[in-house]
Amino acid sequence: MHFLIFILFFAIACSNNDSGSDAPQSQQENTQLEVLLDRSDVIWGFDFLPDKRIIFTERSGHLLVWDPNQNSTSDISGLPPISSSGESGLLDLELHPNFDSNQLVYFCYSEPGRTIALGRGELNESTLNNVQKLFSANNANSSSIHFGCRIEFDDAGKVFLSLGDQNEPSRAQDSNSFLGKIVRMNDDGSGLEIWSSGHRNVQGLAIRPGTNDLFEVEHGPTGGDELNIIEQGNNYGWPLVTRGEPAGELGQSAPGFVDPLASWTPAIAPSGITFYQGDLYIACLRGRQIRRISLDGSTVTNQEILFSDAGYRFRNLRPGPDGFLYFSTDSGELGRIVPSVSSP
């Protein structure tokens, strides 16, 4: 059964480069979080099928579809073996831009041995058929943290995939390793190239509509979470340059490394991001909030903290076909932001 969390939409103006915890309240609108589905596992990624059903991942290794007409959830079989512990498991999910004709579902996961991989399969009712592994980082290790694993298609049908450093910071500066990188490939896995380097744990990717601007967010060590625009060949510094603690060997900024558009200390643990009605929205795990970021080109002009009273670790965000902004959480909620019922 659907239920509503009635909550004032608190919009707290923040400075461009801090958490804004002491900023005054600037705006207050009546909106609410409508929870459509309430489960217990981390809903890491989700997307919308043409028939208005929602396909989503649970980090423990389940791929599911929720039918709003029946309010029922069904499992999708056919996934490859998945290693699930700590931050590893079945992570992001994205439908191919031509899903209507090819039925392709892309998913990021950790293989046995905890290696980051990208797979795809053809959705046929309750089964993934012709499952292929398009990419593997080939870096099995014992770490269960910093997997990254966000997927984003550009307008040309190229696939971007983020990879965390898997708790091996030096790999982010190693050109022979995929860890701590964002890679780009064709939709069949061919044409693989390292697009950018020097990343710690990228959990959000989004292309600004009408442009080729690829935005990302990543976790810093202790503080120093970042928002960046990603450009081919750029190095974003980790672990040599960071605004978190402990300080990088080269400090907070250095020649040859790209400074972030914004950074946050204390940490907000940014996860999924999306553009909605002209602004960038960030699902935040720490602070249990959604951030709305206003941009003028590549300049952050304003930040607002939303729904910090809801108590959720927000994991992902995506605009829905009905025009509402949808969210998922680490405690298994899937829902949307809707207007409040007017007071009499």
Q: Which residues are catalytic?
A: 146
Q: What are phi and psi of 148, to 5 degrees?
A: 65, -115
Q: Beta-carbon neighbour count of residue 99 at 10 Å? A: 19
d(CA 278, CA 135): 33
131-163 burial string, b = 16+ CB within 10 Å, else e?
Answer: eeebbbbebeeebbebbbbbbbbeeeeebbbbb
d(CA 320, CA 335): 10
Q: Beta-carbon neighbour count of residue 33 at 10 Å? A: 23
Q: Which parts of 3-126 are beta strand (E)?
A: 3-14, 25-38, 43-48, 54-58, 62-67, 72-75, 90-95, 104-111, 115-124
Token representation of residue 218: 């990543």
d(CA 146, CA 20): 26
Shortest CA distance to 88 belongs to which of 111, 62, 56, 65?
111
What is the length of the chain?
A: 344
d(CA 104, CA 94): 9
Q: List C-alpha distances in Å: 128 to 51, 56, 64, 187.
A: 17, 13, 11, 17
